[in-house]
Structure 1
Amino acid sequence: MIMAIHFEHRASDSPAIERVWRSHSDHEESMTSVASAHWTLVAWRVGREWRVAAQGPEARASTAPVPPETEFVGIRLALGMRLAQPATDRIVGDAAAFSASKHSVRIGDVTLPVPAYDDAEDLVRRLIKTERLLSDPLVINALRGEPPAASIRTVRRHFLATTGLTAATVRQIERARAAAVRIRAGQVIADVAYDLGYYDQPHLSRSLTRFLGHPAGALRDGTAGQLSLLYKT
Structure 2
Amino acid sequence: MGLEIEGRASDSPYVSYVWRSRSEGVDLMTAVATTGWDLVFWESPDGFHAAIAGPESKVSTAPVPEDSAFFGITFALGTTMTHLPSARLVDSGVDIPDATRRSFWLKGSHWPVPGPDDAEEFADRLVRAGVLVRDPLVSEVMRGGTPDVSPRTAQRRFQAATGFTHGAARQIERARRAAVLLCEGAAADDVVHRLGYYDEPHLARALARFVGRTAGQLRDDPRPARPLSLLYKT
TM over 0.5: yes
Q: C-alpha separation between the residues in 2 aligned to 1:224 and 1:30?
A: 14
Superposition map of 1:41-190 within 5 A: 41-47=39-45, 49-99=47-97, 100-190=99-189
- Answer with 219-228 or 5-14: which moved more: 219-228
Q: Is the CA contact (8 Å cut-off) linking 1:112 and 1:123 kept in structure 2?
A: no
Residue 8 of structure 1: SS of its match in structure 2? strand
Aligned residue identity for 2:184: A
Q: C-alpha separation between the residues in 2 aligned to 1:89 and 1:163?
A: 6
- 2:8 counterpart (10, 16, 20): 10
TM-score by length of 2: 0.93
- Answer with 120-129 or 10-19: which moved more: 10-19
Aligned residue identity for 1:230: L
Q: Is the CA contact (8 Å cut-off) linking 1:81 and 1:133 kept in structure 2?
A: yes
Q: Is the CA contact (8 Å cut-off) linking 2:87 and 2:164 kept in structure 1?
A: no
- Where do 5+ consecutive residues of structure 2 fail to align? none
Shift of 1:48: 7.3
Shift of 1:179: 0.8
Aligned residue identity for 2:74: R
TM-score by length of 1: 0.93
Shift of 1:157: 1.3
Change over 3 Å in CA distance of 1:218–1:97 after alignment to 2: same
Q: Which residue of 1 aligns with 2:233?
A: 232
Q: C-alpha separation between the residues in 1 aligned to 2:183 and 2:222?
A: 11
Aligned residue identity for 2:232: Y
Shift of 1:16: 1.2
- 2:30 counterpart (32, 42, 45): 32
RMSD of aligned alpha carbons: 1.6
Aligned residue identity for 2:178: A
Q: C-alpha separation between the residues in 1 aligned to 2:199 and 2:162?
A: 28
Q: C-alpha separation between the residues in 2 aligned to 1:30 and 1:181?
A: 21
Q: Is the CA contact (8 Å cut-off) linking 1:43 and 1:115 kept in structure 2?
A: no
